[in-house]
Structures are given as structure tokens and as C-alpha cells.
Structure 1
């Protein structure tokens, strides 16, 4: 018998996860750990029988998924930066409440936010803050295609 699901909470946050031309909407709780979000994203991809996105195979382990957030939410052309998903210390959130640093709320993700995702190969080591500082924000690892109206005019 599957575990009993909790009733949906009105405080749920809907995030848009993007890779290439694919967008996956997930409704998440603000206190949900980002590691669990990776698992839900992987579940959503597999439930649609997707095996690859833009020629890149979907991993079987959620630990091989990285999240990225826009450098500037008002100008997505500026690129994406790595969102750190681990860490169990507590930090003060913008709302003044205590939250784990590895949650949706602590990451500053709110309704309608775009989150890029990419896949690492099984042998790859996850990036850290020091390595991330040396990488250009327009890192080609963030394969996100944002539709524009200009495409139709050409």
C-alpha cells in the first residue's frame, strides 16, 4: 500500500524547471529540501517516459542533477548560476523565519521562479562555490532556450 499523501498546502510554491525547450512545473512546499525536489523532478521526467532531453540522457540518480538560477531574473540572457542544494545549517530567510539552507524557501525560490537544471555524468564531481566563481555565468552547461516573439518575425 503506497504511503498516504498529505493534503495540498495553500502555501505551495510552483516552480518552472527548464532544460533546453522543456519546462516541468512542480508544486512544492517551501520547507521541502532541494534534494527531495531533485527526486521529484526525476520522477516527473520518468513518468513521461523521457529518456533524454536534447540528446542528453536522463540520469537514474537524482544526485546527478544540478539546479541553476538566473543571474538576473529580469534579464535571462545574462545567464545562470549554480544553486547550492546541500547544507543543513540554519540561516535567516528574507521573511525573518528560521529555515534550513537546503530548502526551497531558504534558496529564495518563490512562485513562478525559473530554475534551470542540468545533468552530470556519473563520474563528475559536483561544482562548489570556488569553482563556480571561475566559470563564466553563461556556462554552456545550462542548456535553456527561452522563447521570444522575435523568432516568428524572422
Structure 2
């Protein structure tokens, strides 16, 4: 018997530093609720903080559940075919949803977490995009 696959959802990829988190979200969910789901997933996966880079053990602490002054800010690629070009902030303050922003299945969004004095400021998105050469080096290391 085939499994029923919900058709009211969309898979999105959220990137920060070296981390990519896939979430299946409701197309009509607001980005406030999507941000809360993303934080819950990150807290579970990275209880000691979100990795900042692939090479260094530095982490960014995640806000505790229920911490009222933290919010997730999202960005879209300046060029969807070349993520290294950078990201522009996505305005999600008016209850936008994946549907209202016309996001497609497997869309990529950068994210950053703002809290305290940084809330409302211009967000800065740090996303590490692996290159083909880096991926080849990683495969060679695994073969040894």
C-alpha cells in the first residue's frame, strides 16, 4: 500500500554557516511559525550551539525555547543559480507564507538569529557553500 504524501506542504532548505537543515512545512504557515520550528530542530540537533564554520569548533548559542526576544530572519539568494553571490533579506513581518512569497519545492533560504539589540537591524547572512574541489578532497580523505 502506498503511503499518503501530504500535498499541502513544501520542503525548504535553510542554510547558516556550514549547516543545511531541510524542513517540510505547511505552505500556509507564517515565517514566524516556520522560524520557531527551525529553532526547535536546531536545538535538538545542535544542543551546544550552531556551528559557525566547518573547520573551527566555534558555535553560536541558540536561544532557549520560549526566549521572547529572539527571532529568525530569512534571506533569499541574490542569484538562485549561484549561491556564492550572497543573500538579500526577506521581509516576513506581515505574515508572509511560502505560498505568498511564491517559494518552490526545495527552495534555499539563508537564516540568521537575531536577539536583543540586533533585532530589527540589517541582518548578515553567513553561508558556506562547498566547492567541487572541496567535495573531491573530502571524498579522497574518506577513501584513506
TM-score, L = length of structure 1: 0.71
Runs (5+) with no aligned partner, structure 2: 53-58, 138-144
1:103-142 equivalences under 5 Å are 103-127=97-121, 141-142=124-125
Q: Which residue of 77, 80, 83 maps to 2:87?
A: 80
Q: Which residue of 60, 63, 68 maps to 1:59?
A: 63
> Aligned pairs, how many?
124
The question of whether the paired residues in 1 share the 8 Å contact of 2:71 and 2:119 is answered with no
Q: Rate the CA distance shift 1:109–1:50 in 2: closer, same or farther, 3 A.
A: farther
- Give per-residue Cα distances to partners, 1:22-60, cap 9 Å, x unaligned: 111100111111110001001111122433222221123
Does residue 133 of structure 2 align to residue 150 of structure 1? yes
TM-score, L = length of structure 2: 0.75
Runs (5+) with no aligned partner, structure 1: 1-6, 89-101, 133-138
Instruction: Name the CA distance, whole Å, in 2 between partners of 1:109 and 1:12.
Output: 11
The CA RMSD measured in Å over matched residues stands at: 2.4
